[in-house]
Amino acid sequence: MAFAVLLLLGVPIAYVLGITTVVYIFATGNLTLLVTVPQRLYSGMENYGLLAIPLFMLAGELMNFGGITKRLVDFAKKFIGHFRGGLAYVNVAANMMLAAIIGSATAQIAMMSRTMVPEMEKSGYSKSFSTTTTAAAGLLGPIIPPSMLFIIYGVSSGASIADMFKAGVIPGILLGLGFMIIIAFIGFKESFPKEKRASAGEMFRSFLGVLPALAVPLIIIVGILSGAFTATESAAIASFVALLVGLFFYRELKLSQIPKILINTVSTTAVITILIAMANIFGWMLAFERIPQQIAQWMVSISDSTIVFLLLVNIFLLILGMFMDGIAALIILVPIFMPLLPLYNVDPIHFGIIICINLTIGILTPPVGSGLFIASSITRVPIGELVRSLWPFLIASVVVLLMLTYIPSLTLWLPYATK
């Protein structure tokens, strides 16, 4: 009851989780359980894998200030801009490359809304379509590794973070291709403009210019796929390389900007860490009340079919994603769902991709979709107009989700092939 009331009052989700747990302890009358609260708060944050979050965020901040975005956009434009609707394809392709550095949908949507929407408008695209494409392409951030959601899922479930990163590669590519197919259909219908075809020399110069920027995602992906680094180690190395690239190759990163970069990284990390800590004590409360076991019994009583189980999970998560922040939902739900996976013979890595994509789609679904509000606030396109334009991209996302749900090899092939 306290949980629902606090959510309706608009209390930040981290405090909702913490206050609900304390209210529960007082309601039981067993005040000795209060000793558990600080212990669980600390244990929720005491995990080496979580160190990857601030390091990946630091790498993203360094590359953002270091001039990576415009070089990635220029690189994509030179190679695919001459197709009909070329700048829309460029938008998706640039987001795919940025996703391999930033790992956050909201950060990408904010960054690319400022970069791509004005440029697409100048080339003759409507502001509504430009904003919609940018917001949809931002969904690639938490799917293509590195991803904060994958890290948090790995920490919460005990699944290998490196395997989660590997499992996200093919889904990210499929999602990007799905968006490009939607753009192709809309482009032929609306007669989108084409960019001037770049010469071979321009392509080559653009490729040379973007090589230092591509070094960062390559270090992350190749290092993890090869087993040379753990996720945390690759994040640390990527941050160092991003610093060198910004300072000495592009020379757009200034030493005077470092304090601001560190403050941005620390402040965002603090928000996520508090949320993880509070969710840990909330998860303890659920376990204490045997909620996961009760849900498991209820699910098994409905059906013992894996197909039905995964369908119900998808429906539940898509609805929940409309109302709750993805990170909070992930931390709360993982302890509940994990005991169910052996009963339905579902691989934890496969399930991790399913749950993360479901909650990522929620970033663009009303009424609470944070990505919608960010894109709308930057471009001044009304939310209602964005929602109407987004449906083709959301349908493509759900189609890809169903493919990944019922064809497990799409997610599991790469993790097992590289062991």
pLDDT value for 1: 63
Tell me the per-residue pLDDT of 146-202, one tens digit each, with 9 for 90 and over: 888 898 899 888 888 889 989 999 999 999 999 999 998 887 777 776 777 778 788
pLDDT value for 225: 74
Could you tell me which residues come within 8 angstroms of residue 365 by beta carbon, excluding any fewer than 6 positions away?
318, 321, 322, 372, 394
DSSP letter, residue 31: G
C-alpha to C-alpha distance for 335 and 324, rounded to whole angstroms: 17
Q: How many CB atoms lie within 10 A of CB 1?
A: 8
Q: What residues does each domain of the chain span? A: 47-253+289-417
C-alpha to C-alpha distance for 262 and 419, rounded to whole angstroms: 35
pLDDT value for 180: 93
Length of the chain: 419
pLDDT value for 179: 95
DSSP 3-state assignment of 100?
Answer: coil
DSSP H helices, 289-382, are: 291-302, 306-321, 326-337, 348-361, 370-379
Query: For residue 282, how many C-alpha atoms fall within 13 Å in the half-sphere facing its CB?
Result: 25
Report, in angstroms and rounded to the nearest whole number, the Rg of the chain calculated over CA atoms: 22
C-alpha to C-alpha distance for 250 and 243, rounded to whole angstroms: 10
Could you tell me which residues come within 8 angstroms of residue 137 by beta carbon, excluding any fewer than 6 positions away?
91, 92, 94, 95, 96, 108, 112, 176, 179
DSSP 3-state assignment of 253?
Answer: coil
C-alpha to C-alpha distance for 385 and 380, rounded to whole angstroms: 11
Asked if 108 and 96 touch (Cβ cutoff 8 Å), the reply is no
- Tokens 């067993």 correspond to 30
Tell me the per-residue pLDDT of 367-393, one tens digit each, with 9 for 90 and over: 767 788 888 888 888 888 888 889 999
pTM for this model (two decimals): 0.84
Asked if 393 and 375 touch (Cβ cutoff 8 Å), the reply is no
pLDDT value for 349: 96
- Dihedral sign for Cα 251, 112, 261, 207, please: negative
Q: Which residues of the chain have pLDDT under 50?
A: none
pLDDT value for 382: 87
pLDDT value for 354: 96
- Tokens 């019922």 correspond to 406
pLDDT value for 343: 86
C-alpha to C-alpha distance for 171 and 103, rounded to whole angstroms: 14
Asked if 321 and 358 touch (Cβ cutoff 8 Å), the reply is yes
pLDDT value for 136: 92
Tell me the per-residue pLDDT of 279-314, one tens digit each, with 9 for 90 and over: 778 877 877 777 777 777 787 788 889 999 999 999
Peptide bond into 367 cis (omega under 30): yes
Tokens of 117: 């929407």
DSSP 3-state assignment of 418?
Answer: coil
